Amino acid sequence: MQDIKEMIAKLVSFDTVTSNSNLPIIDYIEAYLANLGVSSHRVYDETGEKANLYATIGPNVAGGVVLSGHTDVVPVDDQDWTTDPFTVIEKDGRLYGRGTADMKSFSAINLASVPEMLAANMKRPIHLALSYDEETGCIGAPFMIDEMVKTLPAIDAVIVGEPTMMQIATMHKGVNGGRVTIRGLEAHSSQPHLGCSANLYAARLMTELGAIGDELKTNILQGVDLTPPYSTMNMGVVQGGIAANIIARDCMFTFDYRNLPDDNVEAILDRIFAYASKLEAEMKEQYPDASIKIEMRTVPGLKPENDGAAEALCRDLTGRNSVIAVPYGTEAGQFQERGYSTAICGPGSIDQAHKPDEYIELEQVQLGAAAIRRLIARMAS
């Protein structure tokens, strides 16, 4: 257990908030694995300032299991921490520090267990996958997964170790994030006929999005414990105008559409884009250079699988006979989208994530470590 706690402390010590490069932690992990005789593969972003990393422990044959985690954490700015967020403090059976729950402890358990994996002479491999920029929209993982599909033998299952209190999650909503930029024409507020208000058209589009959100609430997901049990729509940021007596030339707002697995996402997005086009046409009648632009970032949901190999594996490793759904997005849907059987199961509670004085219970670390020991034994049998 001490080696796991030391690894958690080491990983947390790297300030990997998403505004920073994650290369220092990747350098450390790569060197740690290399010292044990395990080679790693990097998949960089376009800037070369961030990288995914994946590594294979055991024979590079079919039937492996992927243990997936992200290296980045959310910011600590303006949060009321009572300790240094990047120094792990052990107190009252808990480990405090940014990323202890979400989700460096899972990766630390896996890394600290590599010597045991090597000593077990496993017949099938365990693949470690570590991504960048999960917290800003699961940006990095797809590039790594695409390369894994091309370079690795067939994978039996993927376990994404987000904090679930070691429960097995087989479903979460998809995330469709939109950034809307509206350009109108400024004029004096006493002469609206000479301008074109970006704010007014933004308000009309937001009203339509609100109406869509109200409609989504009527499609209740049955038979699954998920709160709320319907798809949701939210407007998170609104920025428009520069003065009370100036017609707003520019307005920007964001929306967040989180869909259930059975939603016709394409139809919903088509409706949004069609309404935006209608508004843009009206604006152009007043000002030909007016525009409405929508940039989308989509993270696929995780769908329950019939007789899923990942679910069956997690049941075996945890001893649990039930599954849950989680309300937050993860990289699990990206693995599943590329053909991998995938489930979410990891130590710690999402209730502690993103908060000041984030922590993980040592009992959860022990449960996570026990599951990995059982996985090693399974891969060696």
Identify the pLDDT of residue 35: 98
Give tens-digit pLDDT for 13-36.
999 999 999 999 999 999 999 999
Contact 377, 192 (CB under 8 A): no
Residues annotated as catalytic are 72, 134
Burial class of 248 by CB neighbour count within 10 A (0 to 12, 13 to 18, 19+): buried
Give tens-digit pLDDT for 197-242.
999 999 999 999 999 999 999 999 988 889 999 999 999 999 999 9
Residue 239 tokens read as: 């920025």
Give tens-digit pLDDT for 31-69.
999 999 999 999 999 999 999 999 999 999 999 999 999
Give tens-digit pLDDT for 282-314.
999 999 999 999 999 999 999 999 999 999 999
Give tens-digit pLDDT for 71-94.
999 999 999 999 999 999 999 999
Give tens-digit pLDDT for 114-138.
999 999 999 999 999 999 999 999 9
**2 — pLDDT class (breaks 50, 70, 90):** very high
DSSP string, 323-362: EEEESS--SHHHHHHTT--EEE--SS-GGGTTSTT-EEEH
Identify the pLDDT of residue 237: 96
Dist. CA 252–CA 235, nearest whole Å? 11
Instruction: Pick the closest to residue 13 from 104, 130, 106 (CA basis).
Output: 104
Identify the pLDDT of residue 223: 86
Identify the pLDDT of residue 358: 98
Give tens-digit pLDDT for 349-361.
999 999 999 999 9
CATH topology of domain 174-299: Alpha-Beta Plaits (3.30.70)
Identify the pLDDT of residue 51: 98
**262 — pLDDT class (breaks 50, 70, 90):** confident
Residue range(s) occupied by CATH 3.30.70.360 in the chain: 174-299
pLDDT over 70, % of the chain: 100
Instruction: Pick the closest to residue 352 from 85, 136, 32 (CA basis).
Output: 85
Residue 188 tokens read as: 């004096």
- Superfamily of domain 2-171+302-380 in the CATH hierarchy: Zn peptidases (3.40.630.10)
pTM: 0.91
Give tens-digit pLDDT for 312-347.
999 999 999 999 999 889 999 999 999 999 999 999
Residue range(s) occupied by CATH 3.40.630.10 in the chain: 2-171+302-380
